[in-house]
Each structure stands twice: as C-alpha cells, then as structure tokens.
C-alpha cells in the first residue's frame, strides 16, 4: 500500500505525556492519522498510518500547514509553560 504524498498538519502527540518533550507531528484528519517517515537526510520519505488514542494527541489548529514527501521533516517540542 502506497501512502499519500502530501497531508495537512493535524496535531501533535506526546507519547510520554511529560514535558519537556519531543512531540510527534500528526498529519491527515481525526479519522485517518499519519506520521512522517524519513531517512538520515532529514527529508520526508513517506507517510505511515498512525494508531493514536484521542487523549494522546492535541490538534494543532493550523490546517494551512502541510507536509510533502521530499520536503524537510517537521520537528516539534513541548516545554513547561511558566505561570504569569
């Protein structure tokens, strides 16, 4: 099965549920989530299906951002939010 070649950014998963953390960008939509796969060159090689429970991710809210096979991988981090 060949996956899609371009997908919108949907949200981010924090598998450890702790911060600071390296987040996993999720692409597609709530009913069909995908993660990016790459090699050592820093480019997206393909998208692979992702089985992620709803409470394990948050929607990004930026549907205009997308990723495409051959483009640079998208990285995301989560840090503590300091109280004001």
What is the per-residue pLDDT across 17-76, written as a single tens digit (0 to 9) for each? 888 999 999 999 989 999 999 988 999 999 999 987 766 788 898 879 999 999 999 999
Instruction: Domain of residue 14: give its range.
Output: 8-18+32-67
Domain assignment present for 56: yes
Number of domains in the chain: 1
| Residue 80 banded pLDDT, cuts 50, 70, 90 | confident
Burial 14-41 (b: 16+ CB within 10 A, else e): beeeeeebebbbbbbeeeebbbbeeeee
Domain assignment present for 26: no
Domain assignment present for 41: yes
Domain assignment present for 72: no
């Amino acid at each position: 099965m060949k996956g899609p070649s371009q997908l919108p950014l949907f949200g981010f998963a924090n598998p450890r549920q702790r911060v600071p953390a390296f987040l996993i960008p999720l692409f597609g939509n709530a009913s069909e989530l995908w993660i990016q796969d790459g090699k050592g060159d820093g480019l997206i090689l393909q998208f692979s299906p992702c089985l992620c429970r709803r409470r394990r991710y948050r929607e990004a809210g930026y549907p205009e951002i997308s990723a495409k096979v051959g483009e640079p991988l998208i990285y995301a981090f989560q840090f503590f939010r300091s109280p004001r």
